[in-house]
Structure formats: C-alpha cells, structure tokens
C-alpha cells in the first residue's frame, strides 16, 4: 500500500493547550521576540528541536525501571557500553550528559590557539566549543550543500579539494564529519565521501571523528540513495560509517530517542585517559558521566530502535510528507528533504528583508504568532556574529521545522502545512527585526529583538 503509517500505537498522551493570536502576540512581546524564551505551554506544535523531545517507547520506559544507580560499574553502564560498541566499535566509550559535554571534553584536550578544525558544517555548540579554546572552526561542505535548490543526494558531503588545502596549510588536530549535516539542512554524507575524507586524513596523519547525532537517518539515506547499498542492513551501514573514523561525539537526544545523554568514543588510549580525567573532574565517574543509570538503559534500548528499518522508513517519509505539502503550496524548502527536519528557505521567501534584518527570524516569529508553531532560525541570527565581533550574513537564512521523533501525527503535519502556507501567502507584509541585546557568544539562545 502507498500509505506509510506510523509503526506504533500511542499509549500515553500529552495535552496541547490551544491559544489565541492575541495571547501569542503578548507572549512574543514578553519573550523579547525570542522563541527560546517562550514558555513551552504557550506553544501548540513545538518544532524548535528534535533534541530530547522524542516519545520514548514502552521498552525505554521499562528501562527507566530497570536502571541500576550504583555509582561505579552498574549493569546499566555495561548495557549502554555494549549497545554503543555494537554499532560503533571504538575502544573507549565515555558517557556524557549530552553531546556538547563530549565536545567540550575533547576540544579542551586537542584544540586551542593556532589550531584549525574542519567539518562539513559545525553545528552551533560545536563551533562555539572550538572557538572557546581559541581554535578556528571551518565549514567545508560541497558547494551543492549551500544551494537550497540543488537536488544532490548527499549535500552533507565534504569538499575534498578544500579539505586537502586546509590540511596542507593549517595545524589540524582532528577532522570532523557531521552525519547528517544538521546546519546544512539535515543532509546526509555518503560512504564514498567518508572514505575519501578518511584517505586524506591518512595521508596527513590526522584523526577523523564523526559528530554522529543522526547516524541512523544518515544510514537510511545511504541505503536508499547510494548506488549498491539498497540490499544492506542499516546496522551494517552504520558500522561501515564508524569504520572510517577514529572516534565520535554523540548526542543521545537525537536518533537514540533519549531525553538526555551523549558520549565520546575513541580509539586513542592516551587521549582517552586525558578525556576520562576531564570527565571525572566535570561530569561524573567514567561509568555514568553525569547520567543516571536509568538514562543509560534508555539510550541502550533507543539505539536498538533507532536502526529498525520500519521506523526509519516512517521517520524519513513523515518529514518528506510535510516538505512535499509545503512545496505544493509554493513555499521554498531545502531540497531534497533531510531526515530530522524541513528547512524553509526564508531568504527566498522574503527577498525584501535584508539578511542583517533576519528574514529567517521574521518568518519563525510569524509562524508562532499566526499558528502557535515554534520553529528555529538557522541563519544570520545563529551564525552571523564572527569571533572578531563583526557581523555578516550567514550562507543561508533557513527556518528549521525540526520533527521530534514519534511525537506528532499526520494531522499535526497537515495543520503545520496550513499555517506555513497562510503565512507565506502574506510574505510581503512581513518585516525584519533588529537585535536590542545580545551576549558575546551563542546569541540566538538569549538575544532580545524588536520588530523594525
């Protein structure tokens, strides 16, 4: 049959509070027009992030009960470690409370002034953690990855020629690959490209790490888009992805469908020892890393569910369903559809708003005011402020409708499509915003705005 239905039934529900346009306008004023500063109860459909917001399965809730809270060497830790190594067979697994904690520990040991760390595209916290040490973060995604309309099947791929140039000219302690490439539209990386990056890293003697938050969605795209991969099991593809790298940072709040958690994994014994010391100093003992035993159980179970093909088929299809509905309404969306989110090209929809008056943010604010939908700008607000204090337009001004896993149904997506089409029909009436206050780093989380 044509219909790809949700491969689950719902066994506990959370109410959604409906609000009026007037109420939401007041909420926007009170929040300084920053959607991160809203109360989530004032949001009808929350597409701010797919991080930690997924619905847990019956078996994950059972894991909550089974969790063993022993300080050291708990069975929950061994279950977690085995589940991670089953997919990512690295020597050392270091649990952390989320992805950025793994980033901070790793970069505190290998980054620093004078170093350069390439990636296809660094996500916000990754870039900030690198820059915080004084190192430089560079994005080397292929040119198609910066073109919202390009139909290239692997728009997360690294530009190998650009990487070679950086490896020749800069002091590079590690190369990163983000799978899928979140900031670039949730776009996948091919096995062929990973192998190419690996070969360059070998030539220059530099380790390669994966930022693997959405590894399962990436593997599903490899299976469905890369020649010769259709007959393989997702698990096998994941292990091949892992085999090209020397380690990984991970947020368990994405594909593993946990509400909290992450890890750092690597093969280098000496570096692992230094990282474990940092973990004990700042996160917790090496067998829990700032997590409860029950969290470790949830992640172990979630990893099994994340690579199930029925689930991934539904997951990728439900994201594409929303994107197709928006495209049919004439809304410019990043093509082809990524795994975890639909990205609207706000710069194309709102050409009358200068990038430095934040077209993405203007659109996100309008989606909330008109329909109670909370989305996230991924553009000049998030990436426009440079470390030297200057401001410039980001490569793209996107609005991300991130889809929490197993949380919303088809009727919710129909509602979202209707609201976006309604706002898009009045696009020329939208106005930009100015920033009235911002912190020195990561301004998008806490800045205050005022409409122009």
Residues that bind ligand F0G in the complex, under the rule CB under 6 A = 49, 51, 98-100, 123, 125-126, 178, 182, 211, 213, 251, 253, 262
The least CB distance from residue 96 to ligand F0G, in Å, is 8
Q: How many helices (H) and strands (E) does the chain have?
A: 16, 14
Closer CB to ligand F0G, residue 126 or residue 193?
A: 126
Closer CB to ligand F0G, residue 343 or residue 424?
A: 343
Asked if residues 130 and 295 have their Cβ atoms less than 8 Å apart, the reply is no
- Going by C-alpha positions, the residue among 140, 62, 27 that lies closest to residue 395 is 140
Closer CB to ligand F0G, residue 40 or residue 410?
A: 40
Closer CB to ligand F0G, residue 222 or residue 427?
A: 222
The least CB distance from residue 262 to ligand F0G, in Å, is 5
Q: Distance between CA atoms of 90 and 327, rounded to whole angstroms?
A: 41
Asked if residues 263 and 102 have their Cβ atoms less than 8 Å apart, the reply is yes
Closer CB to ligand F0G, residue 241 or residue 430?
A: 241
Q: Which residue is nearest to ligand F0G (CB)?
A: 99
The least CB distance from residue 250 to ligand F0G, in Å, is 8
- Going by C-alpha positions, the residue among 258, 309, 254 that lies closest to residue 60 is 258
Closer CB to ligand F0G, residue 185 or residue 355?
A: 185
Query: 3-state DSSP call for residue 36?
Result: helix
Q: Distance between CA atoms of 404 and 53, rounded to whole angstroms?
A: 5
268's tokens: 């280098």
The least CB distance from residue 128 to ligand F0G, in Å, is 10
The least CB distance from residue 122 to ligand F0G, in Å, is 8
The least CB distance from residue 127 to ligand F0G, in Å, is 10
The least CB distance from residue 217 to ligand F0G, in Å, is 12
Q: Distance between CA atoms of 378 and 373, rounded to whole angstroms?
A: 16
CA-CA-CA-CA torsion sign (227, 182, 129, 166): positive
52 exposed, middle or buried (CB, 10 Å; 0-12, 13-18, 19+)?
A: middle
The least CB distance from residue 50 to ligand F0G, in Å, is 7
Closer CB to ligand F0G, residue 42 or residue 46?
A: 46
Closer CB to ligand F0G, residue 36 or residue 285?
A: 36
Q: Where are the alpha helices (DSSP H) in 307-409?
A: 309-328, 346-349, 359-371, 380-383
The least CB distance from residue 124 to ligand F0G, in Å, is 7
Question: Would residue 206 be called left, alpha or beta, if left means φ above 0 and alpha means ψ between -120 and 50 degrees?
Answer: beta
Query: 3-state DSSP call for residue 118?
Result: strand
Radius of gyration of the chain (CA): 21
Closer CB to ligand F0G, residue 19 or residue 109?
A: 109
């Amino acid at each position: 049959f044509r219909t790809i239905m949700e491969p689950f039934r719902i066994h506990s529900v959370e109410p959604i509070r409906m609000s009026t346009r007037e109420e939401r306008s007041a909420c926007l004023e009170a929040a300084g027009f920053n959607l991160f500063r809203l109360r989530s109860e004032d949001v009808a459909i929350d597409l701010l992030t797919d991080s930690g917001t997924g619905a847990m399965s019956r078996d994950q809730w059972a894991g909550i009960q089974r969790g063993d809270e022993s300080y050291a060497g708990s069975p929950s830790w061994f279950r977690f470690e085995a589940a991670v190594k089953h997919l990512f067979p690295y020597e050392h697994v270091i649990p952390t409370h989320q992805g950025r904690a793994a980033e901070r520990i790793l970069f505190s040991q290998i980054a620093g002034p004078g170093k350069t760390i390439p990636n296809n595209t660094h996500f916000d916290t990754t870039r900030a953690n690198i820059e915080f040490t004084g190192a430089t973060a560079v994005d080397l995604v292929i040119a198609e990855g910066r073109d919202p309309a390009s139909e290239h099947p692997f728009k997360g791929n690294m530009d190998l020629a650009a990487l070679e140039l950086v490896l020749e000219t800069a002091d590079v302690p590690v190369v990163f690959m983000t799978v899928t490439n979140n900031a670039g539209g949730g776009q996948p990386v091919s096995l062929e490209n990973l192998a190419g990056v690996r070969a360059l890293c070998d030539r220059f003697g530099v380790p390669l790490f994966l930022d693997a938050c959405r590894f399962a969605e990436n593997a599903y795209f490899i299976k469905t888009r890369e020649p010769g991969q259709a007959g393989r099991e997702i698990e096998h593809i994941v292990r091949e992805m892992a085999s090209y790298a020397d380690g990984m940072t991970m947020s368990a709040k994405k594909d593993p469908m946990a509400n909290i958690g992450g890890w750092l994994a690597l093969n280098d014994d000496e570096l692992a020892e230094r990282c474990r010391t940092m973990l004990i100093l700042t996160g917790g003992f090496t067998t829990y890393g700032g997590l409860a035993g029950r969290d470790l159980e949830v992640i172990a179970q979630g990893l099994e569910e994340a690579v199930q093909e029925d689930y991934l088929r539904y997951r990728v299809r439900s994201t594409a369903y929303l994107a197709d509905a928006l495209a049919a309404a004439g809304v410019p969306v990043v093509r082809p559809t990524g795994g975890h989110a639909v990205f609207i090209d706000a710069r194309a929809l709102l050409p009358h708003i200068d990038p430095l008056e934040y077209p993405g943010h203007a659109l996100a604010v309008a989606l909330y005011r008109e329909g109670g939908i909370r989305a996230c700008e991924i553009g000049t607000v998030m990436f426009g402020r440079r470390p030297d204090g200057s401001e410039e337009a980001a490569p793209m001004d996107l609005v991300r409708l991130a889809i929490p896993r197993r949380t919303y149904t088809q009727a919710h997506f129909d509602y979202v499509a209707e609201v976006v089409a309604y706002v898009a029909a009045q696009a020329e009436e939208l106005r930009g915003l100015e920033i009235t206050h911002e912190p020195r780093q990561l301004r998008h989380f806490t800045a205050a705005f005022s409409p122009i």
